[in-house]
Amino acid sequence: MNARESSHEPSPFDLADKVAIVTGGNRGIGRAIALGLARAGAAVAILARDPQRNATVEAELDQVGRPTHADILDVTDRAAIAEAVGRVERALGPIDILVNNAGNTDISGGVLNQSEDGWDNALATHLTATMLLSKAAASSMQARRRGKIINLASMYSTFGAAAVPSYAAAKGGIVQLTRSMAIELAPHGIQVNAIAPGWIATEMTKVAREDPDWSDFNTMLLARTPAGRWGEAEECAGAAVFLASPAADFVTGIILPVDGGYSVF
């Protein structure tokens, strides 16, 4: 066999003929993951609230050359979740990959200042939505005995976060939900894993990077990160492609840090 013939061997990271959903896929880490999955061959649907941002990222996905779909979804609207998943399946086909990425941050300053509405919204956005979307997608995956669910955890799933207790609690819950679903769904051929980003340069973290009032915090986190820098959203895409691919068929229940070594300390 010559080199040209051997190049036809399928890559273990090939996502051709797969259909993926990325929630919150119109910016930041979600956008980077959506584009990464498309470049690996998947048809990609993004579900997010802002129609203008959705259209922008859908155009970027179109440039990759794979089928795309963008739909408006507020993940805290429980009744809308199953309907949105159904629309994706009608547009692109049965769901093979679900990335639960949609999120927000309520910087309350701590429990003493935490509002009940802020707490409820954080858990609804991160934890409850992850469960409901996973339930909707897994019902489809189960029938075909294959599928990948990738949740977005955080380094704050492990470390305390005095300023954002609702976020940390929700992300900690995602870790346990990931492990629980991994056990439940493995017999159905479905792998469930999570990515735990460290300090990634996104709109959500802009204040910590650029506001002079946060300069001491920024200095501290860079000193605490062995890589000595902020991560880029695109650096989470490779982890997602791996976990979504056949290369990870025997990988389930893991929490994969993408943090420049922050969690090593």
Nearest to 122 by CA among 172, 197, 71, 70: 172
Q: pLDDT at position 207, please?
A: 85
What is the rounded CA–CA span in Å between residue 35 and residue 60?
A: 8
For residues 92 and 42, the answer to whether their CB atoms sit within 8 Å is no
Sorted by sequence, the CB contacts under 8 Å of residue 162 that are 6+ apart come out as 110
Burial class (CB in 10 A: 0-12, 13-18, 19+), 104: middle
Q: pLDDT at position 162, please?
A: 74
- Locate tokens 């979804």: which residue? 73
What is the rounded CA–CA span in Å between residue 122 and residue 224?
A: 27
Q: pLDDT at position 113, please?
A: 85
Residues of the chain predicted below pLDDT 70: 1-8
Q: pLDDT at position 7, please?
A: 55
| Sequence letter at residue 162 | A
For each of the domains in the chain, give its residue range(s) and CATH number, in order of start.
Answer: 12-202+232-257 (3.40.50.720)
For residues 203 and 27, the answer to whether their CB atoms sit within 8 Å is yes
**Residue 97: phi, psi to the nearest 5?**
-135, 130
Q: pLDDT at position 5, please?
A: 47
What is the rounded CA–CA span in Å between residue 258 and residue 263?
A: 9
262 sits in which H/E element: none
pLDDT digits (tens, 9 = 90+) for 149-167: 999 999 889 888 777 888 9
Pairing of strands 43-48, 68-72: parallel
Catalytic machinery residues: 167
Query: Which DSSP string do the residues of 238-256 spell out, in sequence order?
Result: HHHHHHHSGGGTT--S-EE
What sign results for the dihedral spanned by CA atoms 99, 100, 102, 106? Answer: negative
147 sits in which H/E element: strand 147-152
For residues 172 and 247, the answer to whether their CB atoms sit within 8 Å is no
Q: pLDDT at position 106, please?
A: 74
Sorted by sequence, the CB contacts under 8 Å of residue 143 that are 6+ apart come out as none
Paired tokens of 79: 């009744």
For residues 243 and 150, the answer to whether their CB atoms sit within 8 Å is yes
- Locate tokens 């119109």: which residue? 26
